[in-house]
Every structure is written in C-alpha cells, then in structure tokens.
Amino acid sequence: MSRLGKKPISIPKGVEAKADAKEVQIKGPKGLLTQTLEPGIKVKVENDEIIVEKDEAILKNGARHGLYRSLIGNLVIGVSDGFEKKLSLLGVGFRAAVSGNKLDLQVGFSHPTQVEIPKTIQVKVEKSTTIIIQGIDKQEVGQFAASVRAIRPPEPYKGKGIRYENEYVRKKAGKAAKAK
C-alpha cells in the first residue's frame, strides 16, 4: 500500500481541477497542465480535494499509486506557485545573457555557447553569473536546468563550471610535487 498515494491533494484558491478516466486537467493563474492516467488509476475531485485511488485488480503494488499522486500534486503546485531553479557560474570570465529566445553562455570555450529556451520556460540572468529558470512544469524546468548545467559541469579541482545554487562540489587534491 502506498502511504503517499492515500493522502488527498488540497486545491488552493483560484485553481480548478477536472478529471475523467483518461486524464486530469489542472487550471490555475499561471496556466493549464494535464496528466494522462494509466489503467488502474482513478482520480476524484471532491470539495477542494483531489483523491487518487488505485484499482487493486489491475495494479498489484502501490508504487504507481504514489507516483501519480506526486505528479498530480506537482501540477497543482505548478499552476498556483510555479517552479524555479537557480544556477550559478563560477570561473574567471564566465557569464551568461539572455538574447531573444536563446541563453548565451560564455564558460571558457573558444566560442560562445547558445541554448534554445523552450516557450514554456522563463529565464532571467542576475549579475551575469546567476541564471534563474522558472516555469509551471517541474519536469521541464528541471530538465532545462540539467541541460544548461551539462554544458560545463563543475570540475573537482578548482570548482569552476555551472552548478545549482546550493550544490556542494567536493574538491580533489591536485598533483603533488615530487620529493627528491
């Protein structure tokens, strides 16, 4: 039995939820998100709560039950508050800028690197070394942040690169000088 799956999801003010056998639609002040359901998962909307149930005959274990409860909970949070990831650039001469629908990164390569920004995501740059990625879809925000970080992940010797805001990078000792 999934303990998380049994917990109802409370619907905040200004958010509407509709559910049928195939999908759930959540509409809020920031936008509209949908989640398709697999067979064996049922969703009911009752007096400002969303209840996710599973059919015991189809789903034997509760893993998917908890998964769909979390996915629908993330939809509710996304349309009401939104999601945000912050990346920081560490390194001499490392900087970022937004030009149109592209994120321009200068991270120590011989050429500037440009990343296409998806239409559903907003990107801001503060002080040219902090990138703020915002959106309503948690998976999309996290995936875009991971793809930007993958351009120049932090290296373990000096810590230079693109890292998440509170990410800790364990540093390695450099090559020791030979003693004669």
Residues of the chain with CATH 3.90.930.12: 3-80, 83-164
Asked if residue 2 has pLDDT above 70, the reply is no
Strand order in the sheet with 23-28: 16-19, 23-28, 31-36
Q: What top-level class would CATH report for the domain 3-80?
A: alpha beta
d(Cα 24, Cα 144) in Å, to the nearest integer?
24
Nearest alpha-carbon partner for 137 in 180, 66, 95, 74: 74
The arrangement of secondary structure in 83-164, i.e. its CATH architecture, is Alpha-Beta Complex (3.90)
Q: What is the pLDDT of residues 63-77, one digit of tens each?
A: 788 888 889 889 888
**Do residues 152 and 161 make contact, with C-beta atoms less than 8 angstroms apart?**
yes
Q: Which secondary structure element, helix H or strand E, spans residue 43, and what is its range?
A: strand 41-46
Q: What is the pLDDT of residues 47-58, one digit of tens each?
A: 888 888 888 777
Instruction: Round the average pLDDT of the chain to a whole number and report it.
Output: 85
Nearest alpha-carbon partner for 151 in 161, 141, 137, 143: 161
What is this structure's pTM? 0.82
